Chain A
C-alpha cells in the first residue's frame, strides 16, 4: 500500500507547481497566499507551540522587506540617490543585476532578522504572558514609526523596489515571484514539519504548558525560546523580502511595519486554523485569504470594520480554531483512542 500522506503531499506540490499556469489571473493572489501561510506557520512556532503570543513578528517581516530592497539597490547603485528620486528610472537594473541582487537581498533579509531576534531575544523573552504581547506590540509600532523618519530608506515618501527586468517582451514577473514564494513555502513547511517531529517541539510545548516546571526539569528554557524565535524571524524576514518585491513599493507604516494589517493577520490566521498544530495555520491562512479577498473586493472601505468584527468573533466563539473543532468532532482521525462508554458517561455527566 502506498503511503496516504505521500499522495497528499505530492498532489499539493504538483498543484502548487502548475497553479500559476491554470489560473494565470490569480498569480499575485496565490503568491500572497504563500506568504501568508509562511507568516502564519512561523507565528505558530512561538505563538502556538511555545505559548509566547507575539504581536511583534511584523518587526522581522518589515525588516526583511527593507533589507532585501536596500541590498538589491545598494549593491549596484547609490541607495540615497535612488530613494531621493522616488524610484524614477534614473538607474535601471540589468536582468543579471536584478536576480543577483534579489538573491543576495533575500539571504540578507532572512539572516539579519534572525540575528536581531537572537540579540533582543534574551531581553524580551524574559517577559511572560501579556507583558510579552504588549512589549512586542510596542516594538513593532516603534519600528514602523522610526523607519518612517530615516531618510536613506525613503522616510515618509516610501521606497520603490527595482522594477522587474524585461527580456524581449517576455512578461514573467508574476511567475517569478510566485515560484519564489512557493519554494519558500515548501522550504518552510519542510523545516517546520521536521522540527515538529523532534525533541525541540516537545521542549517548546513544555515551556508553553508550564515554564517553571520545565526549568525545574533541567531544560535551559531561555536557549530554546531564543532559538524558536530566531527560526520564526528567519522565515518572517524571508517572506517580507519576497513580499517587498511583489508589492513593488515599500512604505514604513502601510506596507512594511503594518501592525494593523499583516501583524494582526498572522495571529488571526494561526488562531483561526488552530494554534499549535502543523496544518492549522495552513488551513487558517487559506480560509482567511479567501474570506479577506471576497470582503476586500465587495465591501471596499468596510474591510477594517469586517476585520475588527472577525477578530472579536473568532477570539470569543472560536478560540480553538478549525483544527480544534475537527479534533473534537472526529477524534479518531487524530489518532486519539476513544472509549465509547467513557465518552457516553462524560456526556451524561454534563
Chain B
C-alpha cells in the first residue's frame, strides 16, 4: 500500500541521561533551525504578581505552530476503526531503518495492554473503556558480526477522547516517578529510568501536541547489560504513538537513538496523515 506522508517528521528529543540532566534537542524539518530548548512561546497562565519572576511557557497558535489540524470526521469512533488506524500507524520494520526485520511474535494481542503494577512489574490487562484500540509491533536489527540485536517496539494507542490520551501521557510520566526500576517481563528489566514531558514548542518538541522521552539502563538474562534504553511517546489528538528501543553488546547509544527517532518520526507522520484535515 502506498502512503504519501504530508511531511517528513524528524523527531526532536532530549537525550536523557539518568537522573536529572537532560540536554536540549534539535528537530523540526531537520534543517538545524530548531528553536533552542525551552524557548516556547510565552503564555499567560502563570503566576501574576509573584515574588517568582517566571512566566508560564505555554503553547499558543502561531505561524510557527504545529502543522497539524485534526479532522473531526476522520477521528475513529469504533473499536474496528481504531484498530485499523493503529495498524496504519504502527511502524513496520522498514520504518526503523535498513536491515530491521519482524520479531516473533510481531504483533501483540489487541485485546490487552501492559500496565505497571504496584510492584513495578508490567502485566497485561484487558483494555479499559477509555481505550478504543492498542497495537504493539516488535522489530529488530538482528545480531551480526559479534554485535547484539537492536530491539525496538512501536505502540499505538487510540483513546476515545483527547482528554483520555492526555491522561495516558501523564500516567507514563507518573510511572517513571513511581518506578525508576521496572521489570518488563521475566528476565528483562530497566533501571534508573528518568522521564521528561513537554508540550508543543517546549524543550524542542516541534512535532507533536505533547511529547515525552524516557531513558534508562536495560538488563536482560539473554543479552546482559547494562545497555542503553530509550523511548519516546507523542500525542496527536486522541492517539499516542510510542517507540521503545533497547541496545545490546556492540551497539552504540547513537545507533539505538537513530533507529528509534526514525521509527517514531514515521509514526508521527502517519498519525498526522491519518487524522489531519487535508490541506
The answer to whether A binds B is no
A interface residues with partner B (beta carbon < 8 Å):
none
